[in-house]
Amino acid sequence: MSSFFKKISYWLAPKTNSDIETKVDETNLLSIHYVTLLVCVLEFISLIVYSASNIKHLFEKDVVLSFIFVGFCFLLCLVISIVTGYIRKLKMVLDEYHNRIIVFVVLFVIVFQIWGMIVSGRHYLKGEQIITFYTVELCIAIFIKLKPLISVPIILLSYIGFYVWLDCFGGHGLINRYNFIMLAVLTAAGAVFNYRLTINNIKRQNRIEILNESLERIANHDPMTRLKNRYALNQDIAGYLDSPVCIAFGDIDSFKKINDTFGHDTGDKILKDVADTLICIFDKDSVYRYGGDEFLVVKKCDDFDRFKQDVESVNTILSDKAIEKSGKRISCTFGFIKSNVSTPVDFIDLISKADKRLYEKKRLLK
| Tens-digit pLDDT profile for residues 173-223 | 567 788 889 999 999 999 999 999 999 999 999 999 999 988 888 889 999
Lowest mean pLDDT among 79-88, 139-148, 330-339: 79-88
Q: Are residues 181 and 239 in the same domain?
A: no
Q: Are residues 146 and 46 in the same domain?
A: yes
Contact (CB, 8 A) for 288 and 296: yes
Decide if pLDDT at 6 tops 80: no
- The pLDDT, as a whole number, for residue 15 is 83
Q: What is the mean pLDDT of residues 291-311?
A: 92
Q: Is residue 1 part of a domain?
A: no
Residue at which a domain ends, from 169, 189, 215: 215
What percent of the chain is predicted at pLDDT more than 90?
Answer: 54
Task: Using the CB atoms, write b or e for 48-58: b if 16+ within 10 Å.
Answer: eebeeeeeeee
Specify the pairing of strand 287-291 against strand 245-252: unpaired
One-letter amino acid identity for 144? I
Number of domains in the chain: 2
Task: Using the CB atoms, write b or e for 13-25: b if 16+ within 10 Å.
Answer: ebebeeebbbbbb
- Rg over alpha carbons for the chain, rounded to the nearest Å, is 35
Mean pLDDT of the chain: 87
CATH number (domain holding residue 356): 3.30.70.270
Q: Is residue 101 part of a domain?
A: yes
Q: Distance from CA of residue 285 to its chain's centroid?
A: 23
**Would residue 298 be called left, alpha or beta, if left means φ above 0 and alpha means ψ between -120 and 50 degrees?**
beta
Decide if pLDDT at 1 tops 60: no
Decide if pLDDT at 172 tops 60: no
Decide if pLDDT at 337 tops 70: yes
Q: Is residue 343 part of a domain?
A: yes
Q: Are residues 180 and 305 in the same domain?
A: no
Q: Are residues 178 and 258 in the same domain?
A: no
Round to whole Å and give the CA distance between 60 and 50: 13
Q: Is residue 220 part of a domain?
A: no
Contact (CB, 8 A) for 124 and 174: yes
Query: In which domain, by residue range, is 137 found?
Result: 10-215
